[in-house]
Amino acid sequence: MSADSTCAVGKRPAGRRAVTGAAAVVLVAAGALLWSKWAPYTAKVFDLSGNRAWTGGEVLRSGGVAAGDPPSLAAAVSFATDYAQAVWKALLAALVISAALHAWLPERWAARVLNRRRPVPEAIAGGLLSTPSMMCTCCSAPVAVTLRRSGASLAAAGAYWLGNPLLNPAVLIFLHLVAPWQWTLTRLLVGAALVVSGGVLAHRLGGNDRPRPRPVERRGGGFGAAVRRFGRQLLRLVLTLVPEYLLVVMLLGAFRGWLLAGVEALPQGALAVGVAAVIGTALVLPTAAEIPVLQALALAGASPALIGALLVTLPAVSLPGMVVVARSFGPRATAVLALTTVVGGVVAGGVLAVL
């Protein structure tokens, strides 16, 4: 047998494993998203189409916390409990998808799928990849980390992280059904610009763009070996990401009375919009939970500029999400994404004020 024939024979099993792994990932991801996102959001759209009124309270006021209340353990626990009830399905789906991507696809697969010669196409590719998953910033963080560790550039992984909450088609439909059209247009235009610009700036200003190598696992074996790889990675994610994630969520929940007071006490003017953008970037909310917050502020007489800033920053980035991605993105790139979000919030305030 010639050397070429031997090489071809050696490549066939690896090629079949890659195809089988990709098919398994697609099936697992589709099933997880159908259960956690697509089916519930479809039902929500039909419900809103009938009554055009948002139902449900503000998670920031869970446990009876009001603006100005001091930090407390009760506030931390009540917020973490309500938040967990709202996001546990999406978080579980994100962890399962992340484990499947890590365990069943070849090394550096994300580099081959998402990376281009320039950061702008990479950011666009990452943003487009984010639209079907429809996750909040914290739930999308584990998948963004896996993309990064699988070879995706900062532009692609950063855009994927930002794109999940900002380009969520379900939330855009929700806004169209229950909010003024100016809110939807502002979210779409500024959100798309922020996803691309954030990814590009993270790539250019984030330091070394080489992703940290992940542990190499043998890809051989049959079905049992693949399941064991998946189980090990899922357990690793649960033990490393979830505790720090919940700790930061509880910390924000404890101080949310002061944060709410800061938002409600803001006067009119550019400085107030900037402060609101910073607060919105730090806060964490489940998917679409910014809608009742913004509606309440609008009824209380908040300016369009203030609402525009929070319309983008509340969903886009959060302190818990930053903690999760910083280890793989790097502190500098994570800070660039956060600062870009603040600037995007200020721009959104200006756009909504003009509209």
pLDDT the model gives residue 50: 86
Q: What is the DSSP string of 64-107?
A: G--TTPPP-HHHHHHHHHHHHHHHHHHHHHHHHHHHHHHHHS-T
pLDDT the model gives residue 5: 46
Summary mean pLDDT of the chain: 89
264-294 residue pLDDT tens: 777 777 888 999 999 999 999 999 999 999 9
Please, which pLDDT band fits residue 221 given cuts at 50, 70 and 90?
A: low
pLDDT the model gives residue 210: 52
C-alpha–C-alpha distance, residues 138 and 315, integer Å: 10
Please, which pLDDT band fits residue 310 given cuts at 50, 70 and 90?
A: very high
Please, which pLDDT band fits residue 324 given cuts at 50, 70 and 90?
A: very high
Task: Evaluate if residue 216 carries a pLDDT over 50.
Answer: no
Task: Give me the residue spans of the domains in the chain.
Answer: 19-48+58-207+223-354
Please, which pLDDT band fits residue 239 given cuts at 50, 70 and 90?
A: very high
Q: What is the pTM of this model?
A: 0.91
Name residues whose C-beta falls within 8 Å of residue 199's C-beta, 6 or more positions apart in sequence.
119, 122, 123, 126, 127, 154, 155, 156, 157, 158, 159, 162
pLDDT the model gives residue 278: 95
- Contact 348/311 with Cβ under 8 angstroms? yes
